[in-house]
Amino acid sequence: MARINDNYLKLKAGYLFPEIGRRVKAFAAANPGAQIIRLGIGDVTRPLAPAVLKAFHDAVDDLGTSDRFAGYGPEQGYDWLSQVIIDKSYKPLGVELKASEMFISDGSKCDCANILDIFALDNVVAIGDPVYPVYNDTNVMVGRTGEADAKGYYKGIVYMPFTEENNFVPDLPKEKVDIIYLCFPNNPTGTVASKDELKKWVDYANANDAIIFFDAAYEAFITTPGIPHSIYEIEGAKKCAIEFRSFSKTAGFTGVRCGLVVVPEELMGTTASGEKYSFNKLWNRRTTTKFNGASYPVQKAAAAVYSDEGWKQTKEIIDYYMDNARIIREGLKAAGITCYGGVDAPYIWLKTPEGLSSWDFFDKLLSECHVVGTPGSGFGPSGEGYFRLSAFGDKEKVVEAVERIKKKWGK
């Protein structure tokens, strides 16, 4: 008798995006002439930078030659990729890393999920609310939680509200926790944490032998000087933090697939018998056993992101999205709508006007402006009354959507 992993039955059905799809489809069917603009997506839309595309093509050609053919590479990724990321992206921040502390992968979603392999089940986990759902659901899947309550909070997880009152940087938990998920710049709120705010978390983690999982998927979108791009810019973070990065949003790799995890050598956990043990060693063991490396052409393309030409072109694409974010932000403000984010992240988190619920605002925005966004309540109970707009769209469409919103809500 093959028994299933019953923990999966505790998961709530993936409700948010199917429900959005259903409502948009119904509206489009009833209003065939409506020009619907979609600002709900969390996916990039611009093509790869030409220099990155060329490196990708060249690497594929390598595979067709006998002298440049590449088979299995190192499970941890090629050193030439880790080293260029360290030199071009971490060193300028004043962060020194060794290639042995960096593990190249096929994306951050898998990394955020897989990292749980090297942590005992009885660790207490703290997760943001609202949040990127992967952190929550993967903890349910491994069996770290009980059932969800009516609000959607799982028993055993400590939820940290991201609210206007705390400036979207959560307060330290009252109970002792062992693992803390932080994502800055944040999805869905688009907000960031200052060095001082992150220091508070690093100090907490070091004082409590806790580990921070720092998701930096949007670090390349930071425009404000002084906002940390990496948790390791904070003193003491190498003793308590694992960092995740992705080429997905930075360089348009959502379909190409490449990410990385940094596990510093100083990072220690505790064994059942109370001794200290290296998480880097454990993650290396896990990686070499369960993964055979990101594909060779993908790693070549990723390295080209950090070439002079590749970065110049990639940065132009990021600037294009961030100009969209500015247009949305300024448009909403002109319409008298309170909003956050959109300065250091490609998401704008708006407070629904007239006290509407997230889903009522969704329906109103769709029926009256023909614009689609994402209800904040879909990311967690504290997202109720908020709404996410994404800057990953076509400029003309973003401008048009903002004009419609201004016409509807502007005075």
Ligand X SMILES: *Cc1c(COP(=O)(O)O)cnc(C)c1O
Longest dimension (CA), the chain: 68
DSSP state of 367: I
Q: Provide, rounded to whole angstroms, the least separation between the CB of residue 215 and ligand X.
A: 5
Q: Which is nearer to ligand X, 187 or 324 (CB)?
A: 187
Q: Which is nearer to ligand X, 40 or 107 (CB)?
A: 107
Q: Which is nearer to ligand X, 113 or 282 (CB)?
A: 113
Q: Provide, rounded to whole angstroms, the least separation between the CB of residue 10 and ligand X.
A: 22
Distance from first CA to last CA of the chain, Å, rounded? 66
Let me know the angle formed at the C-alpha of 188 by 187 and 189, rounded to the nearest 5 degrees. Answer: 100
Q: Which is nearer to ligand X, 260 or 267 (CB)?
A: 260
Q: Which is nearer to ligand X, 160 or 369 (CB)?
A: 160
Q: Provide, rounded to whole angstroms, the least separation between the CB of residue 52 and ligand X.
A: 16
Q: What is the full DSSP assignment across 25-72?
A: HHHHHH-TT---EE----S--SPPPHHHHHHHHHHHHHTTSTTT---S
Contacts to ligand X by CB under 6 A: 42, 107-109, 132, 183, 187, 215, 217, 246, 248-249, 254, 259
Query: Strand 102-105's sheet: what is its strand order?
Result: 102-105, 259-262, 241-246, 211-215, 179-183, 125-129, 157-161
Q: Which two tokens stand for residue 5?
A: 């992993």
Q: Provide, rounded to whole angstroms, the least separation between the CB of residue 376 and ligand X.
A: 15
Name the 3-class secondary structure at 3.
coil
Q: Which is nearer to ligand X, 109 or 300 (CB)?
A: 109
Q: Provide, rounded to whole angstroms, the least separation between the CB of residue 295 and ligand X.
A: 14
Q: Provide, rounded to whole angstroms, the least separation between the CB of residue 322 and ligand X.
A: 16
H-helix segments, 277-307: 279-290, 296-305
DSSP state of 161: E
